[in-house]
């Protein structure tokens, strides 16, 4: 009987898609993670093109065990734009290499797969198939932002993206602030970089003056920054946010 392979959750760098990217992944990810990535011949990913770019960066630090053109890369299924997922997930097809005995890598566009990124369904399917899942160490912008914020790191919730429509977004901000105040819980969210300024403006408009807001920009990049102040101070010193660099927003309401 053929023994099953493992599903490795491989972190990507947080610098993907930003200008002036540092091609040395050895400065971004642990050597042990890069060594595992260099030997994997099967991958499931969000985007095959960026996964090939990732593997080229790996190769510059740890030589790939086989030529890039021989590595099998399969993309996760995505629902048609504007439509929900069909409800049928082809886990067995995506996990076929691992079920046949080969190790398989899962990677997202940036940071840890299945955390603020697709991949959780594949991990669940791997559990159902009794595969061993190995999460490799690497940066997660969510935990880095919480650590750098000075807010409550003992209790925090990642809430993903807020609604784009103004009224719905305002209602969601007020709801999250009430939860934060009641539970003394840090609320963490992200936004597409070109809407960074719009989200900051909405938070400053709808949060209470005493609520502490933290914004982390370009985490792990050379010019990374984190700023944490009460909303009242943000309103008097709003500053500007780049529209091409990822940011993480966190806030904690005072009781």
User: Tens digit of pLDDT for each residue in 222-235?
Assistant: 889 999 999 999 99
Same domain, 212 and 156: yes
Same domain, 26 and 131: yes
Same domain, 203 and 240: yes
Q: What is the pLDDT of residue 1?
A: 56
Same domain, 123 and 148: no
Sheet holding 104-107, edge to edge: 72-75, 42-45, 104-107, 6-10, 132-135
Averaged pLDDT for residues 31-54: 96
Same domain, 101 and 148: no
Q: What is the pLDDT of residue 221?
A: 87
Averaged pLDDT for residues 181-209: 97
Q: Is the pLDDT of residue 85 over 80?
A: no
Of 135, 164, 189, the domain-final residue: 135
Same domain, 149 and 237: yes
Same domain, 13 and 123: yes
Q: In whole angstroms, what is the distance from residue 22 CA to residue 248 CA?
A: 21
Q: What is the pLDDT of residue 90?
A: 87
CATH number at residue 242: 3.30.950.10
Containing structural domain, residue 189: 141-252
Q: What is the pLDDT of residue 82?
A: 43
Q: In whole angstroms, what is the distance from residue 163 CA to residue 31 CA?
A: 38
- Mean pLDDT, all residues of the chain: 91
Of 100, 135, 170, the domain-final residue: 135
Inside any domain, residue 62: yes
Per-residue pLDDT band for 154 (boundaries 50, 70, 90) equals very high
3-state secondary structure of 143: helix
CATH number at residue 119: 3.40.1010.10
Inside any domain, residue 186: yes
Distances (CA, A) of 99 to 41, 123, 236: 14, 13, 58
Q: Is the pLDDT of residue 178 over 80?
A: yes
Of 110, 135, 160, the domain-final residue: 135
Q: In whole angstroms, what is the distance from residue 102 CA to residue 2 CA?
A: 10
Q: What is the pLDDT of residue 183?
A: 97
What totals of helices (H) and strands (E) does the chain contain, helices first?
Answer: 9, 10
Q: What is the pLDDT of residue 255?
A: 83
pTM (predicted TM-score): 0.87
Averaged pLDDT for residues 39-48: 96
Same domain, 168 and 228: yes
Q: Is the pLDDT of residue 202 over 60?
A: yes
3-state secondary structure of 108: coil
Q: What is the pLDDT of residue 15?
A: 79
Q: What is the pLDDT of residue 84?
A: 45
Q: What is the pLDDT of residue 118?
A: 87
Q: What is the pLDDT of residue 79?
A: 60
Inside any domain, residue 1: no
Backbone dihedral angles phi then psi of residue 35, each to the nearest 5 degrees: -65, -40
Q: In whole angstroms, what is the distance from residue 69 CA to residue 128 CA?
A: 31
């Amino acid at each position: 009987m053929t023994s099953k392979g493992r599903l490795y959750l491989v972190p990507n760098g947080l610098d993907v898609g930003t200008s002036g990217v540092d091609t040395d992944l050895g400065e971004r990810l642990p050597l042990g993670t890069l060594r595992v990535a260099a030997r994997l011949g099967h991958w499931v990913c969000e985007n095959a093109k960026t996964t090939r770019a990732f593997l080229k960066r790996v190769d510059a630090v740890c030589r790939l065990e086989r030529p890039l053109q021989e590595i099998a890369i399969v993309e996760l299924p995505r629902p048609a734009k504007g439509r929900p997922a069909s409800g049928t997930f082809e886990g067995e097809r995506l996990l076929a290499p691992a079920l046949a005995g080969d190790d398989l890598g899962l990677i997202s566009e940036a940071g840890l797969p299945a955390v603020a990124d697709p991949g959780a369904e594949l991990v669940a399917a791997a559990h159902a198939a009794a595969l061993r899942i190995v999460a490799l160490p690497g940066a997660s912008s969510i935990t880095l932002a919480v650590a750098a914020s000075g807010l409550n790191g003992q209790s925090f919730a990642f809430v993903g993206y807020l609604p784009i429509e103004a009224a719905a977004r305002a209602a969601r901000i007020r709801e999250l602030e009430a939860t934060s105040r009641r539970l003394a819980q840090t609320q963490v969210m992200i936004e597409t970089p070109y809407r960074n300024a719009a989200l900051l403006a909405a938070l400053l408009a709808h949060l209470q003056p005493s609520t502490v807001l933290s914004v982390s920009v370009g985490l792990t990049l050379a010019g990374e920054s984190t700023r944490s102040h009460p909303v009242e101070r943000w309103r008097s010193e709003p500053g500007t946010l780049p529209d091409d660099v990822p940011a993480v927003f966190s806030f904690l309401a005072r009781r």
